[in-house]
Amino acid sequence: MIDWTPYTTRAREWFETLRDSICAEFEAIESEAGDSAQFEYIPWNRDTEDGSDGGGGVRGVMKGKVFEKVGVNVSTVSGTFAPEFARTIHGAQDDPSFTATGISLVAHMANPHVPAVHMNTRFLTTGKAWFGGGADLNPPIPYQEDTETFHAAFRAACAKHNPTYYDRFKQWADDYFFIPHRNVARGVGGIFYDHLECENEAGWERNFAFTQDVGSTFLDIFPQLVRRRMNMPFTEAEKHRQREWRGRYVEFNLVYDRGTLFGLKTGGNIDAILMSLPPDVSWS
């Protein structure tokens, strides 16, 4: 039986390093736009029924001229799943204990021509150990150039590790980030993967390297798209289009998103869980 504790620590340290790099880059973009906005970091601890240490995390939020609202969260939690919920979690059917560490990011942009974005990567241990995550682009006003740039970056990242990854994980994103009751996709896709199992230490290193490249690719490509669009003029009609699109985003995250459900079911910080919700939204 492998003790995954030191591997969880390494993953957490990487997620924190990635967070710091992303936040610094986003603050630099705000500075370029003439704004002094910076991230506010709010630590939180996970409460447990028996008073044991359930871990916690840090919620980072910035509201600026370019980023109307962006949240970057890192958390490391552990505990025991409720029996009913354990049956829905990979590897938890026989042993409901778990550890989970990860980074989660959602950015809602002030300019409707700049795409919103979601990215998260995580490492979990239950009866099994695995990585999951991905990134997907969510433009209120899609530009084919941006979509192709985003996908090309992740296609190249996937190709470094496995020639089947991009096609598999793109399709997984297309299937997952879909709103059935609206019969529309949440955005223009990206990649999504889960249950990338670590059968041994070598498997962990392989999957960790891929997960690191997912984060690094996001850090490289998304700021390029922001700088490409952030100074474009926009109309009130385009801003209203953005608000209506955000309504679809809210519907997906509250009705279908597994990450939201995981956070709520494991006693996570409510503000951190719901940081994905946009600051200004309309359904009409």
In tens, the pLDDT along 11-50 reads: 999 999 999 999 999 999 999 999 999 999 999 998 766 6
What is the average pLDDT across 180-186?
Answer: 95
What is the average pLDDT across 260-266?
Answer: 79
95 vs 158, more confident: 158
Contact 37, 6 (CB under 8 A): no
Those residues with Cβ within 8 angstroms of residue 120's Cβ, 6 or more apart along the chain or in another chain: 102, 103, 104, 105, 133, 134, 135, 259
207 vs 46, more confident: 207
Confidence (pLDDT) at 84: 67
What is the average pLDDT across 106-110?
Answer: 98
CA 48 to chain centre: 25
Residue from 90, 108, 113, 118 carrying the catalytic annotation: 118
What DSSP designation does 275 have?
G
| Tokens encoding 35 | 């704004």
Task: Give the gyration radius of the chain's Cα atoms.
Answer: 18
Confidence (pLDDT) at 88: 66
Q: Which domains, from first to last, does the chain contain?
A: 5-276 (3.40.1500.10)
151 is catalytic: no
Confidence (pLDDT) at 266: 73
Report whether pLDDT(122) > 60.
yes
Report the DSSP beta bridge partners of residue 60: 41, 72
